[in-house]
Structure 1
Amino acid sequence: MALLDSLVDQGLRAEPATPAQARAILATGDDDLLDVVAAAARVRHRHFGRRVKLNYLVNLKSGRCPEDCGYCSQRLGADTGVLSYTWLKPDQAADAASAGIAAGATRVCLVASGRGPTDRDIDRVADTIGAIRAQHPDVEVCACLGLLRQGQAERLHTAGADAYNHNLNTAESRYGDICTTHGFTDRVQTVDQARNAGLSPCSGLIAGMGESDDELVDVAFALRALDPDSVPVNFLIPFDGTPLAGRWDLTPQRCLRILAMVRFVFPDVEVRIAGGREIHLRSLQPLALHIANSMFLGDYLTSEGQAGRADLDMIADAGYVVEGAGEPTLPAHRRDLVRLRRRGAGTPIAPNA
C-alpha cells in the first residue's frame, strides 16, 4: 500500500502522519492488518529497537472520587464494588513499588483518585517519593493525581517526581458526553503546568467509548499539540455500575489499528499499551509489542491485569527485551532536567547516568 510506504518513510525520519493518513489507517480492513502492523513495527524499531519499557502502578488512594467520568469505576455515585481506601503510608507504597521494580519496571506510576490533590496531599506524595528513592534511587517516578493547582507541579518536581500523567482521554468535541464535572481544557492546562514545571508530560487516550474514527484522530492530534514524552493507549474496561457498562465496541484488530495510528502520529515517542489490553487484544497481545514500546506490568488501578510472569514471558517470546534499569528512557532534554534537579538535592549522579 502506498499509504504504508509513505508512513514508514515519514516515521523513519520522525515525521508524524497527517490527520488524513491517520484516518486512512483506522479505515484499513482486516486483510491489510498484518501489513499495517509490519509498517508500524519498522518505525517502532528504528526509534526504540527491540526494547520494551515496563511501568508499574501503585494506587495510593482508591475510590471516593467526586468526578463523574463515565468510564471510571471510582466515579461519583458508582456502584462498582471496587475497593476504597485512603492514602497508603510512604513505606507501604515503597514496598508495593519494589515488587514491580524487582520484575523489571523502570517507571513507577503513583496514582490517587480525586479531582486533584490538596497541598497536604502533595506533602504525602513527596514523602512517598522520598521513601521510594531511598530504596531505588534510579527508578523514574510518575505522579497521576488529577487536576493540578498553581505551584503544585513545581512542588512535585522539587520532591523528586520525574513525570506527570494526565490523559486527555477523548476528543474535545465529545468530552462533555463523558464527563460533566470538569472539561477538556482543564486537562490540557494540567499537562501544560506539568511540562512548564520541568516534569516529563505523559498523556494519552481511552478507545472504545463510542468514538468515531474522526474523534480518535482529533484526540491523537490534540495530544500531539501537547508534545508528550509518553502516550498511554487505554482500551475501555466497561465496568458494571458505570454509564459505559456493557460497551464492547472493540475487536483485537481494531485495537491494533488504533495503536498503529498512534505510532504513526508519534513515531519517535513512547507509546504505551495500557488498561484493557488483556480483554480486548486477547491472543493478539504480542502483535501490539511490534507497535508499542512500553506497557504496564501486572494489575491496574481497580482491575486485575495479566500475571507479571506472563507479561515477561510474552515479551521474551515475541523477541523483545525488557529495558534495563539505568538505561536512558526519558528523552535527553528531560534527562538533563532530572540531573539538575537531583544534583540540586545533593544526590550523587554517576557518569553517563
Structure 2
Amino acid sequence: METVVSDWKRLAESVIKGHEVTAKEALSIVQASDDEVLDILNAAYLIRRHHYGKKVKLNMIINTKSGLCPEDCGYCSQSIVSEAPIDKYAWLTKEKIVEGAQESIRRKAGTYCIVASGRRPTNREIDHVIEAVKEIRGTTDLKICCCLGFLNEEHAGKLAAAGVHRYNHNLNTSQENYGKITSTHTYEDRVETVEAVKDAGMSPCSGAIFGMGESEMEAVEIALSLRGLDADSIPCNFLNAIDGTPLEGTSELTPNTCLKLISMMRFVNPSKEIRLAGGREVNLRSMQPMALYAANSIFVGDYLTTAGQEPTADWGIIEDLGFEIEECAL
C-alpha cells in the first residue's frame, strides 16, 4: 500500500520541532510496507533519543491478588469467563508486597507495580496497599505504580497522599472496539478513572493491547486517545492469547506489525514513556531488541499470569544495543 509519508526522517524531525502527528500520518506508519520498517524505526529512534537518550526504564509487576475477578474481559485469564488454569488467591500480606520491592531492585527496576485483580478496591484493600507503600517509600527510592481497578476520588487521593507516584489503568482498545472485548464496564469508565488519577496528582499510566480485532485505524485511535488523555506512561501490550480465554487462538500480529505499532505510538506520543509490555516475547520474538529503538521502557520478569523472560536476558539486550538501564538506588 502506498503511504502518505515517504520521508519518515523528515516527519520525525518535524515531530521533534513540535509537530503533532495527524491521524492520516499515524495510519501511514501502521500501513507501511514491511520493507520500510527499518526506515520507520530509525526515524522513531530520532524522537526517542531526543527525549530519552539511550536510557531504558525497567518496571516490575507483583500480582498481589490473582483471579476472582467479576469482569468479563476477553483477553484476561483472571476474568470470570476465563477457564485458564491459573493460580487464584486473595491478597498477599503486606510483608510479601514489601519483599517484592526488594526483588524489584535486584532486577534493576526503578518502578515497582502493585497490581490486583478485581473491578475496584474496597476501603480495606486501599488501606492494605497504603501500609505497604509507606514502608517501601521509607526504605527505598523506588517509584510506586498501582493498578487496582476503577478508582473513585477518595481512593485516588489516599493513594497519592501515601506516596504512590503512578496509577495504571489501560484503555486497552479503541472506543469502537471496546464492546467486543468486554461487557461488564465501558470505555468511558476507564477514561473516568484515568481522569481521577490525574486530578489526584498521580502520574497517569494508560496503554493498549494490540491484536484484539481492532482495525488499523482503531489502533491509531488508541494512540490519539492516549495523547488526548496526556498519559505519561504508555504500556504497549501485544495480545498473548491464553488458552481458556474468549480470545484463545487469536493471532493477528507479526513482529514487523508490532514494530510499526510501537513506532506509531512513539510518533504520536513523542515525549512519553513508551513501554514494551505483555506479549512482547511471543509476538516480537527475536526482534525484541529492535523495538527498543522506539520504546524506552520494558517490564522485566513475569507478568500477571504469564511468564516473561529472565531479567538477565533483558539486561543483555540493553547492553548489546549500547543502551543504559535507569537503576534505582537503595
Match of 1:45 in 2: 49
How far apart are residue 130 of structure 1 and its match?
1.7
Match of 2:250 in 1: 247
How far apart are residue 76 of structure 1 and its match?
0.7
2:208 to 187, 195, 205: 205
What number of residue pairs does the alignment pair up? 325
Write the distance in 1 (CA, Å) between the matches of 2:100 and 2:246. Answer: 31
Match of 1:195 in 2: 198
Write the distance in 1 (CA, Å) between the matches of 2:70 and 2:243. Answer: 18
Write the distance in 1 (CA, Å) between the matches of 2:7 and 2:94. Answer: 50
Write the distance in 1 (CA, Å) between the matches of 2:241 and 2:130. Answer: 33
2:269 to 243, 257, 266: 266
1:62 to 63, 66, 71: 66
Q: Deviations over 1:143-180 (max 9, x none)?
A: 10011123110010111101100000000011111010
Match of 1:309 in 2: 312
8 Å contact kept, 2:65–2:89: yes
Q: Which amino acid aligns with 1:33?
A: V
Cα distance change, pair 23–102 in 1 and its aligned pair in 2 (3 A): same
Aligned ranges 1:219-238 → 2 under 5 Å: 219-238=222-241
Match of 1:334 in 2: none
Write the distance in 2 (CA, Å) between the matches of 1:281 and 1:175. Answer: 24
Q: Which amino acid aligns with 1:89?
A: T
How far apart are residue 210 of structure 1 and its match?
1.2
Match of 1:347 in 2: none
| Runs of at least 5 residues in structure 1 that lack an aligned partner in the other structure | 327-353
What secondary structure sits across from 1:37 in the alignment? helix
How far apart are residue 30 of structure 1 and its match?
1.0
How far apart are residue 14 of structure 1 and its match?
4.3
8 Å contact kept, 2:81–2:245: no
Write the distance in 2 (CA, Å) between the matches of 1:264 and 1:77. Answer: 36
4+ runs deviating over 3 angstroms: none
Instruction: With the length of structure 2 as denominator, give the TM-score of the two structures.
Output: 0.96
| Runs of at least 5 residues in structure 2 that lack an aligned partner in the other structure | none
How far apart are residue 220 of structure 1 and its match?
1.0
Instruction: With the length of structure 1 as denominator, give the TM-score of the two structures.
Output: 0.90
Aligned ranges 1:122-141 → 2 under 5 Å: 122-136=126-140, 138-141=141-144
Write the distance in 1 (CA, Å) between the matches of 2:274 and 2:54. Answer: 14
8 Å contact kept, 1:14–1:268: no
Match of 1:90 in 2: 94
Q: Which amino acid aligns with 1:186?
A: D
What secondary structure sits across from 2:153 in the alignment? coil
Match of 2:280 in 1: 277
